[in-house]
């Protein structure tokens, strides 16, 4: 028998193409950030002093760890195991749903801390309309927060579909894997943003 030719999964390919366009979108945001920073260095120096770097670092660790839990969920999906086979504390027997629920919780914590930071900065007078720094900070981190929120909605959709599906098959597993691509992408973008905003002052 000759070798069988397997076609690439169209959903995965489409997601990768879409994420490539997202890379260009964020590259544009980064370019805007650097341009405004180059034209207003004194504004940057004044406003970056107000950033809570330890809190942002802790929040970054939460998001990075959520990528780990997301990947464990993918491994479970690849085993076609939608739910746990043991007690809730037996993490080695967790299924995709439990790992994705934990990932959702960590992502929600990340967004909540970011909103808390926004409130704190606004109270210090750093608003989107205040100056170039405020515009650059809120546009870049705000668009990222919207992407994280979109990922959270996707996790809810995947977990909901796993519950209603009579049989968890390759179609459901592929959907989980595609969502993980997006979540890892959002994670990497934040790491770049974190270094750019909180360390390259």
What's the pLDDT tens digit per position in 24-49? 888 888 888 888 888 888 888 888 88
Give the helix, strand, coil percentages of the chain, each rounded to 5: 80, 0, 20
Q: What is the DSSP string of 151-184?
A: HHHHHHHHHHHHHH-SS--HHHHHHHHHHHHHHH
∠ CA 20-25-31 to the nearest 5 degrees? 125
Cα–Cα distance measured from residue 121 to residue 103, given in angstroms and rounded to the nearest whole number: 27
pLDDT at 46: 87
Q: What's the confidence (pLDDT) of residue 199?
A: 84
Pick from 80-84, 91-95, 146-150 the range whose average pLDDT is largest.
Answer: 146-150
Q: What is the pLDDT of residue 189?
A: 93
- Give CA separation, 102 vs 56, 81, 161, 181, in Å: 20, 16, 17, 17
pLDDT band at 8 (very low <50, low <70, confident <90, very high): low
Query: Do the Cβ atoms of 155 and 107 come closer than 8 Å?
Result: yes
Cα(72)–Cα(53) distance, integer angstroms:
29
Q: What is the pTM of this model?
A: 0.86
Question: Distance between CA 68 and CA 82 in Å, rounded?
Answer: 17
Quote the pLDDT of residue 4: 43
> Residues 100-116: what's their mean pLDDT?
97
Read off the pLDDT band of 12 (50, 70, 90): low
Over range 99-121, report the average pLDDT: 97
Predicted pLDDT of residue 3 = 46
Domain spans in the chain, listed from the N-terminal domain onward: 53-198
What is the rounded CA–CA span in Å between residue 76 and residue 112?
28
Give the orientation angle of helix 41-48 with respect to helix 10-39, to 10 degrees: 110
DSSP state of 131: -
**Alpha-carbon span 21 to 191, nearest angstrom:** 19
pLDDT tens digit sequence for 124-180: 998 988 888 999 999 999 999 999 999 999 999 999 988 887 788 888 888 999 999
- The arrangement of secondary structure in 53-198, i.e. its CATH architecture, is Up-down Bundle (1.20)
Is the pLDDT at 10 greater than 70? The verdict is: no
What end-to-end distance do the CA atoms of the chain give, in Å? 62
The dihedral built from the CA positions of residue 131, 135, 137 and 142, taken in this order, carries a sign that is positive
For residue 77, pLDDT beyond 70: yes
> Mean pLDDT over all residues of the chain?
88
Closest CA to 65 of 103, 28, 101: 103
Q: What percent of the chain has a predicted confidence (pLDDT) above 90?
A: 53
């Amino acid at each position: 028998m000759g070798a069988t030719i397997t076609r690439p999964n169209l959903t995965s390919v489409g997601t990768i193409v879409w994420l490539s366009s997202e890379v260009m979108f964020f590259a544009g945001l980064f370019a805007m950030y650097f341009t405004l920073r180059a034209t207003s260095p004194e504004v940057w120096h004044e406003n970056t002093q107000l950033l809570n770097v330890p809190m942002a670092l802790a929040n970054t660790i939460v998001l990075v760890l959520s990528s780990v839990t997301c990947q464990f969920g993918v491994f479970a999906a690849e085993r076609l195991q939608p739910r746990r086979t043991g007690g809730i504390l037996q993490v080695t027997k967790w299924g995709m749903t439990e790992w994705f629920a934990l990932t959702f919780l960590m992502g929600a914590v990340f967004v909540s801390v970011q909103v808390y930071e926004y409130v704190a900065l606004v109270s210090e007078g750093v608003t989107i309309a205040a100056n170039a720094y405020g515009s650059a900070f809120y546009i870049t981190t705000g668009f990222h927060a919207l992407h994280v929120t979109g990922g959270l909605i996707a996790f809810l959709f995947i977990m909901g579909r796993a519950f209603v599906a009579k049989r968890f098959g390759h179609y459901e597993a592929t959907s989980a894997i595609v969502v993980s691509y997006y979540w890892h992408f959002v994670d990497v973008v934040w790491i770049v943003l974190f270094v750019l905003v909180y360390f390259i002052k």
